[in-house]
Amino acid sequence: MDAMRKQLDVLMGANRNGDVREVNRKYFDRDVCRLFLAGLCPHDLFQLTKMDLGPCPKVHSLQLRKDYEEVKAKGTENFDRELEDMIDRLIVECERKIQRALKRLADEDAKAAIAISVSEVTQSEEVAQLSKEIKEKMKEADIFDFEGKTDDKIKTMELVEELRSKRADLQATLLLDAFNKDRAAIPQPIPPPQMATLPAPPPPDARTQELINEKLSKAEALGEQGMVEEAQKALEEAEALKKLAAARQEPVPDPSKYSVADVRITDQKLRLCDICGAFLSVYDNDRRLADHFGGKLHLGYMLIREKLKELQEEPS
């Protein structure tokens, strides 16, 4: 209910029920969110994720943001420093999470996981153009919001989601290309000599494949939450299921050969997203990667990193 009330306050104003206090409220009042006025409140990020901060206890008002921006343009008020400090804290914590994950995985194998510059690998002119269009449409949505044109705002936000989905698919394709090159560089173990070439084993049965997919999805969710050991265990269980399914097709099965304890984390060749700190695998398919790029956690960190860059480029 608090979240719904906040959304209605932003859309229609806190005075929608005739509250006289809203008429007299000023942008500099203590109960007004300065970070929202400056362009980005952390409570609006990461909703329904592990990092969800819940609804902001302070007032979000587009009218007060407009009042603030007019004063800021005159050089008499500026809350950018407060916003920059908040973003710095979020990014520092994300970087710490990445370093902790790398260190813990390095204890298993120094080459088990490395941080990959997703922001560089997934950049292209088309991605940049889509990002520009998304920003423009978000500004249009704010204008419609301020003017009370709810239908126009909804249509614009639907278009924003379409653009984000298109960008996520494109970024997934670019990262998949990079992973393909990464896989090609991974040394393959020398197979033991065989008397005859055996046919490729058939894929796992439907139930086993469903269990494998569940383990991979669980590992991804745990990785986004920074739960490294739990994510590693889920990946090991998925790999064990794959090998157990293959073992059933062998003439002389050896169950001990496919125990979870024998499956190393290096089999997954994990990579860490340098934007949000989530785990990625060089064996992920394009759909799984697109889900990562379109996820709220990744989009939230991408937004604050872009906002920080924007604030740092503004003349002081």
Q: What is the pLDDT of residue 22?
A: 54
Distance CA 316, CA 305 (A): 19
Give the pair of three-digit tokens for residue 171.
Answer: 């970024």
Quick check: pTM over 0.75?
A: no
Q: Are 303 and 86 in contact (CB under 8 A)?
A: no
Q: What is the three-class DSSP state of 166?
A: helix
Task: List pLDDT tens digits, range 242-266.
Answer: 777 665 554 444 433 333 333 344 4
Average pLDDT over residues 67-96: 91
Residue 219: pLDDT over 80: no
Domain boundaries, given as residue ranges, for the chain: 206-246
Sheet strands side by side (includes 270-273): 113-116, 270-273, 279-281
Read off the pLDDT of residues 116-126 as tens digits, 9 standing for 90 and up: 678 788 889 99
CB-based burial of residue 302 (10 Å sphere; 0-12 exposed, 13-18 middle, 19+ buried)? middle
